[in-house]
Amino acid sequence: MFETAEVGNHLEKSDYKRQEPKLRTALLEAQRALAGSNFSLVLIIGGVEGAGKTEFTNQLLEWLDARGLAVHAWGAPTDEERKRPFFWRFWRILPPKSKAAILLTSWYSEPIVGRVFKETGQAELDQRLDQVVEFERMLVAEGVLLVKLWLHISKSEQRRRFEKLEADPDARWRVTKQDWKFHKRYDKFREVCEHALMKTSTGEAPWHIVEATDRRYRNLTAARIVLDSLERRVEESRTAAKPEHKPDHPKPKVNNVIRKLDLGLKLDADVFDKKLEKLQNRIGTLTRCLSKKERSLILAFEGPDAAGKGGAIRRLTQAMDARLFRVDSVAAPTDEEKARPYLWRFWRDLPRVGRVTLYDRSWYGRVLVERVEGFAAAQEWRRAYAEINAFEEQLAESGIIVRKFWIALSADEQLKRFKDRQGTPYKQYKITEEDWRNRAKWDAYEAAACEMIERTSTEHAPWILVEGNDKRWARIKILESVVEALESGL
């Protein structure tokens, strides 16, 4: 694969001088088009040590307008990063629509280096690369233009450069022990990279390998790839049909997991009181252990309006130290959230190790309300199941215990509760016009929920269906499930 970048490409100074101004103008024009567009640019600059990743970046920064452009590079993770899933640090810096980010290290760096120095096995690397492919596919689908450049030089060229730099007193610092360690492992590095690039060169985000021996050739070629990608994307977004946003009202099956629930299940008040106290004590004890065991807990609550999500959440939070948990009530996204992939808002506030986040509604809005009301296009909610599964897998992998509750309710019981809310002063705020409107789409929501449960109930993040007509029954079932989850996870 890298042979194609060891063929002696180079560019004369005169040619460079002739081509550079035009390229620069075109780059600026493309950047302006980006600034007015509905996509963002993420440019990954990978490559062999010494190939000039930083040098090329500096050149690009000179050609482009620094406004709306951020350069990122990561060293060892900070403790805030270590306490969250692998991809968190990258989600943190995702540029909003119309802006660009240059990544000098990326989600490729750690897996590749880990493999080269044999800290991780081949299977582990492949697993991570599979995640990377999923992650990138999601980014692209959500409107990120992902350009991946690989700057290549041969082993002998690398040695030549390191030696030359070391001979120069002003540049000596650029060559570190680490660099020579990499040089020794050049062949292994090349092999691992070849494998990684092959696996992740996808239709939506291919790798572009650039021969980096001649600086002029490298700069112009790499910049042209960026330019072409930008121009193509601008053109596409101009001509592409806008995805249609229309409500989707699926019909529920006569027999489905929700209808099969026995909504007559009940619990007596005195049994409830005893159980509640015991379970709350247990939850208090268990959540205090999360930190020591380096785990955290995410609980998501979904269900029809008035199903009792808030009440169940309160019974849980009563049991916990207020410093350990956070309740996230998912409302309309802010403009910063709207300008990024829809999972961004959940990533940005992920609990760190030892903490609990309870979501009153969650990322499942994508396949429930956004689907039914037509806030998301069909292709958006259709691919969301896989994206959500990948997301939750990453959470689980990093040590987060994930449980999702669907609180079911009969239509009659909902009506009763709506009326009750309207009659109780401190409950009135809970009921809005929208609740009545949503009620009219009962069947569509039920069918959407069934599909959601079917497609996203996984071993590492199962859905727990809760019979919700009797609040006491529902709350105890939820608390018991949380205890179970904590006991098996800790």
| 401-440 footprint of its own copies as x/- string (CB under 8 A) | ------------------------xx--xx----------
Least separation in angstroms between CB 409 and its own copies: 20
Residue 67 interacts with its own copies (CB under 8 A)?
yes
Total interface residues for its own copies by CB under 8 A: 51
Residue with tokens 């029954």: 473
Residue 118 interacts with its own copies (CB under 8 A)?
no
- Nearest CA to 272 out of 75, 473, 456, 20 is that of 473
Residue 310 interacts with its own copies (CB under 8 A)?
yes
- Contact with its own copies (CB under 8 A): which of 1, 11, 71, 113? 71
Name which of 252 and 303 has its Cβ closer to its own copies: 303
Interacting residues with its own copies between 27 and 66 (CB under 8 A): 28-29, 32, 54, 57-58, 61-62, 65-66
Residue 198 interacts with its own copies (CB under 8 A)?
no
182, 223, 465 from 198: Cα distances, Å: 21, 22, 42
Residue 7 interacts with its own copies (CB under 8 A)?
no
| 351-370 footprint of its own copies as x/- string (CB under 8 A) | ---------x----------
Residue 24 interacts with its own copies (CB under 8 A)?
yes
Least separation in angstroms between CB 66 and its own copies: 4
Name which of 313 and 483 has its Cβ closer to its own copies: 313
Residue 322 interacts with its own copies (CB under 8 A)?
yes
Residue 172 interacts with its own copies (CB under 8 A)?
no
> What phi, psi does 239 have (nearest 5°)?
-95, -25
| 217-256 footprint of its own copies as x/- string (CB under 8 A) | ----------------------------------------
- Contact with its own copies (CB under 8 A): which of 257, 327, 377, 378? 327
Of the ranges 74-82, 133-141, 215-223, 237-245, which one interacts with its own copies (CB under 8 A)? 74-82
87, 295, 325 from 397: Cα distances, Å: 11, 11, 21
- Tell which phi-psi region holds residue 143, choosing left (phi > 0), alpha (psi between -120 and 50) or beta: left
Least separation in angstroms between CB 297 and its own copies: 16
Name which of 8 and 425 has its Cβ closer to its own copies: 425
Residue with tokens 């030892």: 354
Residue 79 interacts with its own copies (CB under 8 A)?
yes
Of the ranges 126-134, 258-266, 322-330, 364-372, which one interacts with its own copies (CB under 8 A)? 322-330
> What phi, psi does 329 have (nearest 5°)?
-95, 120
Residue 178 interacts with its own copies (CB under 8 A)?
no
- Contact with its own copies (CB under 8 A): which of 318, 379, 422, 432? 318
Binding site for its own copies (CB under 8 A): 21, 24-25, 28-29, 32, 54, 57-58, 61-62, 65-71, 73, 78-80, 102, 104, 170, 173, 281, 284-285, 288, 310, 313-314, 317-318, 321-323, 325-327, 329, 331, 334-336, 360, 425-426, 429-430
